[in-house]
Chain A
Amino acid sequence: MMWLSGGFVFRRGTSVYHRLDPRVKLLLSVLMFATTLLVRSVYELALVLAFMVGIAAIATVLRRVARTMVFTASFSVIIFVLNLVFTGSWVTSLLYAVRFVAIVMSTSLFFITTSPDELEQVMKTFRLPRDVVFAFVTAVRFIPVLLLDTIQIMDAQKSRGLELEKGNVFRRVRNMIPILIPLVVNSVVRSGELAEAMESRAYGAVAKPSSLVEYKSSLADKAVAVAAIAVFVLAAYSFYYVLPAKFP
């Protein structure tokens, strides 16, 4: 479980991509996401995927992105089978299945290279309510904590003779009760404690609190943003006008 979680959880890095303004990283992810929706053939999708793999290589997160793909592959198989059953087309089914992987990859690239603090700054840029921003960022920040809790709870219950992998589907679901109840209870207790700790440190005392970090885009950030938009426009144009003419 911890191995898979590496594909979704932020870890500090020193790559060029990590150092980009988080707003630019968000723009890149949104554009990659949009591009995966624009493609109309498996070949075009392969091009987009190759581009994303390139970005992952620059960000030195290739292995972690691979974990994301392993995780999403199981869902992709379901998408493929369902589409095959209802459309009967191998190509369309494959397109939808791989598109799902690409969509998850585009968002994963943003989340594994952007710290919760940067995420908070990005959300503030959109002038979202402070409470909403705080709740969302805290939820993201607590994902690794919850994962660790889950593992520790599983360890504790396995040490009391609980066999999670034993029995039929119904028994396996029932076996999850001793895992889920402590997990939910701990999360509720922790959120209550967090709320008290925040209030005792003057959270909400003023309507517009000051900020420790103010992001200012560098020239390089702006250049990357412009280049990303240019590549997106070029890709969209190629997908709709150039490639269909050459490879009808």
Chain B
Amino acid sequence: MIEFQDVTYVHLNGVKALDGVSLKIDTGETVAIVGENGAGKTTLVKHVTGLLKPASGTVLVDSQSTTATSTAQLSRKVGVAFQNPDHQLFSESVEEEMSFALRNFGFAPELVEQRVSWGLELFGLDEYRKSSPLVLSGGEKKRLTLACILAWDPEVVILDEPTVGQDSIQKEKLVQTIRMLSSAGKTVVVVSHDIEFLWPMQPRVVVMRAGKIVGDGPASKLMQEKELLDSARVAQPELVALYQSLDARPPSPFVDPLDARRWLENGGTGP
């Protein structure tokens, strides 16, 4: 479990990036953190791995304070895929890149080989195994960073803007991967501006504005609160916006446009 207890963080330039944030994320939950640029989303997730330490308040990961634990220790439990893949790729080959963290964590050579093959296959990168990671396309690099994180099987997976540079097929694969992680009991935290990507997963949504949490709840409920979303500069999913513009209130959150069409054809009644 991840817990933020009244956490405040102030950048060196004096800007308050987190302002009294309290949040609990249970094991196995899938949480989406949304909000405008500069709302404090990335700062929030950097506290989970101990990369940033709170100015006041406490961050607990499995009841362990991040202030008293090193990032290296925390990263065994928490895997973060950062926004820019170019900030981490350095090895001579894709497989070496994938094995970097596994070797840091002291995995046995056979297990390293096994985990590398699994990750490369899962993300369709097997053909690049011996290639330099620097020659991959933007989307492939992003997938490689995700594969690198999942290779060591962390309990918590944090994805910071995972859809940047991904085509629609890769986005769909990413949704499936997150669902797979969720069904495997992993805690998944996704920081994203891509509401259409988040909507089908129906996660718990945490809305941030100016370093504060201004909304927290299931996507089906929160995404209907247009005023709240507008104030945090978050767009509504198109499907929800469509229902609202038709002044229709679906009884359950439709995640598939075909279901929505069926519902509308029935005159806006039924499940």
Q: Chain A residues in contact with chain B, CB under 8 A?
A: 2-3, 6, 149, 152-153, 155-163, 177-178, 181-182, 185-186, 189
Chain B residues within an 8 Å CB radius of A153: 87-88
Residue of B nearest to A179 (CB): B90
Chain B residues within an 8 Å CB radius of A160: 75, 88, 100-101, 104, 148-149
Chain B residues within an 8 Å CB radius of A155: 46, 51, 82, 87
CB distance B90 to A181 under 8 Å?
yes
- Bound CA–CA A2/B12 (angstroms): 8
CB distance A162 to B72 under 8 Å?
yes
- Bound CA–CA A3/B79 (angstroms): 27
Q: Chain B residues in contact with chain A, CB under 8 A?
A: 12, 46, 49, 51, 70-72, 75-76, 78-80, 82, 84, 86-90, 100-101, 104-105, 134, 148-149, 152
CB distance B90 to A159 under 8 Å?
no
CB distance A186 to B86 under 8 Å?
yes
Residue of B nearest to A149 (CB): B87
Q: Which of B75, B84, B148, B149 contacts A158 (CB 8 A)?
A: B75
User: Which one of B87, B88, B100 has the greatest number of beta carbons of chain A within 10 Å?
Assistant: B87
Q: Which 10 A-B pairs have the closest CB atoms?
A: A161-B104, A181-B90, A160-B101, A156-B88, A158-B71, A156-B87, A159-B80, A163-B72, A153-B87, A155-B51
- Bound CA–CA A160/B76 (angstroms): 8
CB distance B87 to A159 under 8 Å?
no
CB distance B82 to A156 under 8 Å?
yes
- Bound CA–CA A24/B79 (angstroms): 52
Chain B residues within an 8 Å CB radius of A189: 86
Question: In the complex, what's the smallest C-beta–C-beta distance from B95 to chain A, in angstroms?
Answer: 15
CB distance B12 to A159 under 8 Å?
no
Residue of B nearest to A185 (CB): B134
Residue of A nearest to B88 (CB): A156
User: Which one of A159, A182, A185 has the greatest number of beta carbons of chain B within 10 Å?
Assistant: A159
CB distance B104 to A159 under 8 Å?
no
CB distance A152 to B76 under 8 Å?
no
- Bound CA–CA A178/B152 (angstroms): 18
Question: In the complex, what's the smallest C-beta–C-beta distance from A25 to chain B, in angstroms?
Answer: 23
Q: A3-B12, A160-B100 are in contact. List 19 more A-B contacts (CB 8 A).
A: A155-B46, A155-B87, A156-B82, A156-B87, A157-B88, A158-B49, A158-B71, A158-B72, A159-B78, A161-B104, A161-B152, A162-B104, A163-B104, A178-B100, A182-B87, A182-B89, A182-B90, A185-B86, A189-B86
- Bound CA–CA A6/B12 (angstroms): 9
Q: Which of A152, A161, A162, A177 contacts B87 (CB 8 A)?
A: A152
Given contacts A3-B12, A6-B12, contact A159 B49 (CB under 8 A): yes
- Bound CA–CA A161/B105 (angstroms): 6
Question: In the complex, what's the smallest C-beta–C-beta distance from A191 to chain B, in angstroms?
Answer: 14
Chain A residues within an 8 Å CB radius of B76: 161
Question: In the complex, what's the smallest C-beta–C-beta distance from A181 to chain B, in angstroms?
Answer: 4
Question: In the complex, what's the smallest C-beta–C-beta distance from A147 to chain B, in angstroms?
Answer: 11
Chain B residues within an 8 Å CB radius of A156: 80, 82, 87-88
- Bound CA–CA A159/B81 (angstroms): 9
Residue of B nearest to A177 (CB): B90
Given contacts A2-B12, A3-B12, contact A159 B84 (CB under 8 A): no
- Bound CA–CA A6/B11 (angstroms): 13
Chain B residues within an 8 Å CB radius of A186: 86-87
Q: Which of A6, A158, A162, A163 contacts B51 (CB 8 A)?
A: A158
Chain A residues within an 8 Å CB radius of B75: 158-161
Chain A residues within an 8 Å CB radius of B148: 160
Residue of A nearest to B71 (CB): A158
Residue of B nearest to A180 (CB): B90
The contact sample of 28 A-B pairs, CB cut-off 8 A, is A6-B12, A149-B87, A152-B84, A152-B87, A153-B88, A155-B46, A155-B51, A155-B82, A155-B87, A158-B49, A159-B51, A159-B71, A159-B75, A159-B82, A160-B75, A160-B101, A160-B104, A161-B76, A161-B101, A161-B152, A162-B104, A163-B72, A178-B90, A181-B90, A182-B86, A182-B87, A185-B86, A185-B134
Chain B residues within an 8 Å CB radius of A161: 72, 75-76, 101, 104-105, 152
Q: Which of A152, A177, A185 contacts B82 (CB 8 A)?
A: A152
Chain A residues within an 8 Å CB radius of B90: 177-178, 181-182, 185
- Bound CA–CA A16/B245 (angstroms): 56
